[in-house]
Amino acid sequence: MDLAALVKLAATNGASDLHLEPGLPAAIRVRGSLRTTGEPLPAQSLLEAARDAIGEEQWPRFLEQRSFDSSKTIQGVRCRLNILQTARGVGFAIRLLTSFQATVEKLNLHPDLKKLVNNTHGLILVSGATGSGKSSTLAALIQEINLTDTRHIVTIESPIEYTFRPRRAYIRQREVGRDTPSFEQALLDSLREDPDVLMVGEMRDPETMRLTLNASETGHLVLATVHSSTCAEALQRVVSAFPSEIQSSVSAQLADCLVAVISQRLRFRPDLEIRVPECEILVPTHAVKNFIRNRDFFKIASSIETGAEHGMWSFQRYRTWLENRTNWSMPGQNAEPAENETAELTPPAFALPAFTAAPKSPPPAKKPVAPGAHGKSSAERIEIEPTESEFGKILKRPGE
């Protein structure tokens, strides 16, 4: 059993996911449908492949947690790996990521999404089911900022899926478990790192949600994902994650900082032989903000239906726009030069060892004090590969 050969096979078939389980044939997901291929995989071969992928340094961590997340490039394909212990042995769930820099145009998203990142502060939520392309949409929004504005971007991911080549923006990517022990610690750190834009890979628990909301109120543009099927459900899920006695204050905080909610799902187009994102977009008007404050989430759907003039899109209206669209971006079309290809982020030889286990979430604390107000970004292009003498010109001095 050769892991590299299986990944290559999946990529050749245009698969989005590859599943490996002892005693079962390899399974690939193509256009949303799962199918098996080849002979049953031996448990010992998968165990050896897992140990090789994890590395001896992190192997004790896997034995303790019985699962391990990482991302790496295999056979030229950027992959997100989840290695897990099952009843049959050690298995793999591998997500094959696109090899290009995701953009709004390349993902066939509506160009109105570009306007959302013009905001300098607030919260943009991207929601959807697992495998609906949330990470790709986040990457496209970050890339839009990267190509158009000189802002400092910090991403917090578990693991890093898309690597960004800085253009105009100054981008730092942190992986939970390797570069920081937890989302909570990374968010606390970020308030002292002078970011203009924060990207939170996933809001999983109330503490991460609380810190994300706080960051969006303190002069930062925050992009985050949440699992839900509609925009209203995404907002309701955030609020309901908190204890009932503080949900009113959380609702008010969410209403004040919200920039937009994007809920998406992938739909296969037989005429194009590709899957395209189908979106619902919520923009917080005064009426919508009142619904959020009063927790009347069921009323949001009607606002989306009648909010076209405010830039809102229902799934039905968005589907009509897709049916009338003629200029499509196809996979492999307009290939980028080699220098633009994503590169795997590997720590240097002198890097500190990865965290063996994430610590428990810190107890709820008072709302962190916002750093100094941010001025507008310079119109000049930032030099991404500076010499040591130029760092002082690039990095902002922290203001008190």
- Please write the tens of the pLDDT for every residue from 133-155: 899 999 999 999 999 999 999 99
Is 334 part of any domain?
no
> How is residue 335 written in tokens?
């290939």
CATH (domain of 45): 3.30.450.90
Please indicate, yes or no, whether residues 115 and 218 belong to a single structural domain of this protein: yes
If asked whether residues 127 and 205 sit together in one domain, one would say yes
Instruction: Report the alpha-carbon distance of residue 233 to residue 241 in Å, rounded.
Output: 12
Q: Are residue 79 and residue 140 in the same domain, yes or no?
A: no
Last residue of a domain, one of 326, 342, 373: 326
Looking at residue 392, its pLDDT comes to 47
Residue 361: inside a domain: no
pLDDT of 116 > 70? The answer is yes
pLDDT at position 171 over 60: yes
Q: What is the pLDDT at residue 335?
A: 47
Chain-centroid distance of CA 351 in Å reads 25
DSSP code string of 142-167: HHHHHHH---EEEEEESS--S----S
CA distance 165 to 150: 14
Residue 121 and residue 80 share a domain: no
Range(s) of the domain holding residue 183:
111-326
Sign of CA dihedral 97, 100, 103, 105: negative
Q: Of the segments 156-165, 175-184, 194-203, which one has the largest average pLDDT value?
A: 194-203
20-24, 69-73, 396-400: which is most confident: 20-24
Residues 228 and 318 in one domain: yes
- Same domain for 34 and 11, yes or no, is yes
Rounded mean pLDDT, 26-51: 92
What does the DSSP 8-state code read for residue 202?
Answer: -
Share of the chain above pLDDT 70, in %: 82
pLDDT at res. 76: 85
- Per-residue model confidence (pLDDT) at position 204: 86
Least confident of 30-34, 221-225, 246-250, 350-354: 350-354
The last residue of one of the domains, among 294, 326, 358, is 326
> Does residue 91 lie in a domain region?
yes
| In a shared domain, residues 65 and 120 | no
Split into its structural domains, the chain has a count of 2
User: Is residue 390 included in any domain, yes or no?
Assistant: no
396 lies in a domain?
no
Query: What is the average pLDDT score of the chain?
Result: 85
Report if residue 363 sits inside a domain. Answer: no
**Same-domain check for residues 141 and 240:** yes
Torsion of CA 184, 161, 280, 209, to 10 degrees: 0
Tokens read off for 246: 């503080």
| Same domain membership, residue 262 and residue 200 | yes
Please check whether residue 343 lies inside any domain of the structure.
no
Distances (CA, A) of 289 to 125, 155, 374: 15, 28, 26
Based on the fold, state whether residues 22 and 124 are members of the same structural domain. no
pLDDT for the residue 297:
95
Least confident interval from 129-133, 264-268, 288-292, 390-394: 390-394
Q: How many residues are listed for the chain in this entry? A: 400
Whether the upstream peptide bond of residue 243 has omega within 30° of 0, thus cis, is no
In a domain, 46, yes or no: yes
Shared-domain flag, residues 160 and 33: no
The string of pLDDT tens digits covering residues 266-316 is 998 888 888 899 999 999 999 999 999 999 999 999 999 999 999 999 999
- Asked whether the predicted pLDDT for residue 131 surpasses 90, the reply is no
Average pLDDT (62-66) is 93
Last residue of a domain, one of 298, 326, 354: 326
Q: How large is the C-alpha radius of gyration of the chain?
A: 22
Rounded Cα distance between 280 and 258, Å, is 16
Helix (H) or strand (E) holding 268: strand 258-269
Residues 79 and 124 in one domain: no
Which of the residue ranges 74-78, 161-165, 356-360, 380-384 would you say has the lowest mean pLDDT? Answer: 380-384
Q: What is the mean pLDDT of residues 84-103?
A: 88
pLDDT value at residue 352: 65
> 180 near 174, Cβ under 8 Å?
yes
How far is 356 from 68, CA to CA, in rounded Å?
A: 11
